[in-house]
Amino acid sequence: MSSPTSKPFRERAEELFRKLQDEITSTLEALDGSGKRFFQDSWERPGGGGGRSRILTEGDVFEKAGVNFSAVHGEAPQSLHGGNQELTFFATGISLVLHPHSPKIPTVHANFRYFEQSNGLSWFGGGMDLTPSYLVEDDARHFHSTLKSVCDKHDSTHYPRFKQWCDEYFYIKHRNETRGVGGIFFDNVSGDTEAEREANFEFVEEIGRAFLPAYVPIVERHKGESFTEEERRWQLLRRGRYVEFNLVYDRGTRFGLETNGRIESILMSLPTLARWEYDMHPAPGSPEAKLEEVLKNPKEWAA
């Protein structure tokens, strides 16, 4: 955990997210086991700043894994201030989405970000969530319990608030279901004092580093399991729902488009393959129906 320094939060946040990208990509390369490395695409944003997009495709475990870092600045879009004043912004963060080959291994998403405007407003946001094709309750409990233990160290209200926020945010309204089994989500976490802002920074730093212990054991548990073509078909159908959420509702996608972001990085979250079928319903009592029931009625996974 970092200690307070004289550096501005924007510099400290940028350093943190760069390091997180390095730590996560190196761990995922070892976990994949194929010997493949993340391809890095460094880019600059017209108007200010840039980032590093890292992509691994067709590994032994991961069909597509993207871990992006960015630090951008410029004129704030009107959607953030109503067009009533001229503002500049700075935003830095890390965003990742991992789509495994196997339907037995859940897709996972995480992002952490820091944002500030020239009028003095600043805040942190982020979270992570798990999207399985097949429900394994022990996986969901492990993922949520890992996040809850970090949240509880900082504020006992964090986990219940952020867990509910995640369930409500990652909700596909036109399908009447959540995207997955959730996790935590938070936004506009700010502070009026230096001590409050420091506490927020420490929470984001620790919850960001909780991603690997929350997810890696789940991959290790299932990466040797076999699967059928029917299970693969179901995975591709569930990925279709993932695409629907990201293109219709995701705020990060909208923000990237509104701020003239880099389209390859914005759409990095989409899977290589997905599927849609007309009026598809799983058989009653099937493992697929078990997952669908939880998506329509979110559960409490951590005591």
Q: What is the pLDDT of residue 162?
A: 98
What b/e string do you get for 215-247 counting C-beta neighbours within 10 Å, with b at 16 or more? beebbeebbeeebeeebbebbbbbbebbbbbbe
Answer whether 0.85 is exceeded by the pTM. yes
Q: Assess whether pLDDT exceeds 60 at residue 1.
A: no
Average pLDDT over residues 160-186: 97
- Active site annotation includes 109: yes
pLDDT category of residue 288 using cuts at 50, 70 and 90: very high
User: Which single residue is written with the structure tokens 């293109």?
Assistant: 247
Average pLDDT over residues 128-139: 98
Looking at the chain, the whole-number percentage of residues with pLDDT higher than 90 is 78
pLDDT category of residue 166 using cuts at 50, 70 and 90: very high
CATH second-level architecture of 9-296?
Answer: 3-Layer(aba) Sandwich (3.40)
Q: Assess whether pLDDT exceeds 90 at residue 14.
A: yes
- pLDDT digit string (tens) for 192-249? 888 999 999 999 999 999 999 999 999 999 999 999 999 999 999 999 999 999 999 9
What's the one-letter identity of residue 251? R
Q: Assess whether pLDDT exceeds 90 at residue 143.
A: yes
Q: Assess whether pLDDT exceeds 90 at residue 23.
A: yes
Choice among 99, 101, 109, 144 that is catalytic: 109
Q: What is the pLDDT of residue 266?
A: 85
- The full set of domain ranges for the chain reads 9-296
Tell me the two tokens of residue 3. 């200690």
Alpha helices per DSSP H over the chain: 9-32, 78-81, 137-154, 158-169, 194-209, 211-222, 229-248, 251-258, 263-266, 287-296
Q: What is the pLDDT of residue 265?
A: 82
Q: Assess whether pLDDT exceeds 80 at residue 153.
A: yes
- pLDDT digit string (tens) for 46-97? 888 999 999 999 999 999 999 999 999 888 766 555 555 678 899 999 999 9
d(CA 285, CA 220): 28
Give the residue with greater pLDDT, 263 vs 218: 218
Q: Assess whether pLDDT exceeds 90 at residue 109.
A: yes
pLDDT category of residue 5 using cuts at 50, 70 and 90: low
d(CA 250, CA 244): 9
Tell me the two tokens of residue 237. 């159908």
Distances (CA, A) of 291 to 82, 132, 136, 167, 265: 41, 8, 9, 15, 30
